[in-house]
Amino acid sequence: MAALRFRFSPTSVARSVCVVWVAALVGGCSAGVPAPSPPAPPVPSAARPAAPAHRAANDLEDAYRRVIGDVLPSVVQIDAGEGLGSGVVYDDKGHIVTNAHVVDSGRSFEVTVATGGEALRAELVSSYPEQDLAVIRLDRPPAGLRPARFGDSSKVEVGQIVLAMGSPLGLSSSVTQGIVSATGRTVSEGRAGGGTGATLGNMIQTSAAINPGNSGGALVNLDGEVIGIPTLAAADPRMGGGAAPGIGFAIPVSMVRTVADQIVRTGRVTDSGRAALNIVGRTVLDRGYRPVGVAIVEAPRDGAAARAGLRPEDVITRLGDTEITTITSLLEALASAKPGQRMPVTYVRDGRRATVTVTLGEV
């Protein structure tokens, strides 16, 4: 804050051969033609396609069971008082990574591990709402606490089978299955329902079901590696804003580790890796109430925009090759950029259009 299986039965093959042979025999006798030749020898079992298909299905099921057995002990349920979410054990010192919107404004939490037992007390280490990530720490990590294994975001591919693990609707230790539907998505969270309002870049889209309570859990590949943190599901306006089935998003593990490593090491995020213009802005509407750009309200002197000569009341209309009409479109364009990157910014000042090159800052 996803397949019908057909099997080819060896028994069916044998019955089909028998029926065809009997029909030929009866037809030959009734027509008064010579008796048919003896039936062909049975098809060798090695040539039957059913056995390999059956083995493949069993192999996939075995892989699911192995991954679930390996990873589920590293996924916890987090009770934040106002609601439930999920988390992933980050290390053997009791650090747990989750979503910022799961911890919200809380400072202490009750954590239940997947293997059961009494709830454990945890305290907030730090929250980073700009990337919707947070780290909490167990007061007394239990013996045998199992940290998750984290994968490589650069190796995530469309079509890859993944499992989502967490506590959807409070049902702890739940697992859903799907594929990676897309990578590199940029999505914006709403603020309704406890969302942070963050714009998140490079997200993994998955068909594995993501429901309330899954947030902060684990998106896992079949090697048993966490490749992302399930964070939100798409909303379908035609369904009254309800979740659109099969369209969920997870923060990639590269960003998870960037943020969590800094929080564990220093207690806060000092290097976000997120580009910024360093402005306060607002969406501008034309006379037809259509959004046409972002007006700069504040541009601190040491910020990226001010250093490039932009100032309050300028209206930004383009960043790089992307047309800018709203604050959200500006944040989405920045989400795919990097601090220090030089990008052209088109703006309107006193009715005149101009372009400057900005060296992007950092959030």
Q: Return the CATH fold of 153-266.
A: Thrombin, subunit H (2.40.10)
pLDDT in tens, 70-80: 999 999 999 99
Beta bridge partners of 346: 318, 355
27 vs 307 pLDDT, higher one: 307
pLDDT more than 70, % of the chain: 83
Residues assigned a catalytic role: 101, 132, 215
Report pLDDT for 49. Answer: 55
d(CA 347, CA 1): 35
**For the chain, which residues make up each domain, given as ranges?**
153-266, 275-362
273: pLDDT strictly greater than 90: no
Write down the CATH number for the domain with range 275-362.
2.30.42.10
- The predicted model scores a pTM of 0.76
Q: What is the pLDDT of residue 16?
A: 31
The more confidently predicted of residues 50 and 357 is 357
Strand partners, 78: 85, 111
> How far apart (Å, rounded) are the C-alpha atoms in residues 340 and 53?
52
Residue corresponding to tokens 């056995």: 51
Q: Please give the pLDDT value at position 43.
A: 47
Q: What percentage of the chain reaches a pLDDT higher than 90?
A: 67
Q: Where are the alpha helices (DSSP H) in the chain?
A: 10-30, 50-71, 100-103, 253-266, 304-307, 327-335
3-state percent helix, strand, coil for the chain, nearest multiple of 5: 25, 35, 35
Least confident of 19-33, 143-157, 277-291: 19-33
Give the mean pLDDT of 108-136.
Answer: 93
AA letter at 305: A
